[in-house]
Amino acid sequence: MNNFRTWLLMGALTVLLVTAGNLIGGNTGMMIMVVFSILMNFSGYWFSDKIAISMTRSQPVEERDAPQLYAIVRSLSLRAGLPMPRIYMTPSAQPNAFATGRDPEHAVVSVTDGLLRLLSQEEIEGVLAHELAHVKNRDILIGSMAAMMAGAITALANIAQWGLIFGFGRDDDDGALGIVGVLLTIIVMPIAAMIVQLAISRSREYGADATGARIAGRPEGLINALIKLEHGAESVPMDVNPAAAHMFIVNPLSGRSLAGLFSTHPPIPERVARLKKAFE
């Protein structure tokens, strides 16, 4: 099922980029976007983890610099029957975390500075178990591909906007049609990027919560962590590319008023209630 969704995203990316290329540059723009989309799909599949890491400005951390973090991840990985993932740190005071990579053998788990400072060991275990659950459930590729796709669409909209300002566009005789095409690209592409993120099923988070609690052996750590993470996201801003927001355990942009209207994450109270009910 996840492989089908991955190929569906790749196909959607191709259609969006080729259509936008035609609107902006006619047949020439369309052919350019055909080539670009092929390269994008290839690089997205093989290098989605690197793209996600770059979008979040995360950096690798050595075991000697974070021995407790490594010990927790190693213990949880053994319980989950997973290879030890690479560990990264995301520079932010907001407590949060995400996982990326195309499969368990190429997985990355990244935590923010704020998460290690503000959460107890049990709560950190709950969060890391949730991220390893994403790896175990093999849904980290779909999230990484979606982040890359949304980023590409948004970048294309920005290019179209600058093209309109400086007079670039279609080379056909109908100048008005060209301008309309560019305006449609500028307006529609960001909306398409948002839809891509909303299309990432919220059931991924519910599933990772349940699997993570089982990996950790108890739900209390994750439950308490989710409550703290929600408060942290609302009170401590994170400078992160919106295209990557859906990868985090809680929406890092939830403190921004408009972001909450189109959240890719299910409500924290609902996640907590489901966990409590599942482990009664």
| 134 labelled ligand-binding | yes
The residue that leads in pLDDT, 131 or 32, is: 131
CA distance 20 to 7: 20
Say what the pLDDT of residue 30 is.
Answer: 76
| 106 labelled ligand-binding | no
- Which domains are present in the chain? 2-54+141-199 (no CATH), 60-138+202-278 (3.30.2010.10)
Contact yes or no for 213/276 (Cβ under 8 A): no
Averaged pLDDT, 154-183: 61
Say what the pLDDT of residue 244 is.
Answer: 81
Averaged pLDDT, 28-33: 77
pLDDT digits 0-9 by tens, 180-219:
666 666 777 667 666 665 666 667 899 999 999 999 999 9
Helix (H, G, I), strand (E, B) or coil at 60: strand
The residue that leads in pLDDT, 218 or 153, is: 218
Q: Active-site residue among 123, 125, 131, 230?
A: 131
Lowest mean pLDDT among 9-23, 65-79, 109-123: 9-23
pLDDT digits 0-9 by tens, 244-273:
888 899 999 876 545 444 566 889 999 999
pLDDT digits 0-9 by tens, 5-16:
656 766 776 777
CA distance 10 to 14: 6
For residue 255, which amino acid is it? G
CA distance 67 to 60: 13
Contact yes or no for 140/107 (Cβ under 8 A): yes
Res. 173 pLDDT band, cuts 50 70 90 = very low
Closest-CA residue to 255 (of 95, 53, 91): 95
CA distance 66 to 273: 33
Q: What are phi and psi of 196, to 5 degrees?
A: -60, -45
131 a catalytic residue = yes
pLDDT digits 0-9 by tens, 82-97:
999 999 999 999 999 9
Total-model pTM: 0.77
Averaged pLDDT, 149-176: 62
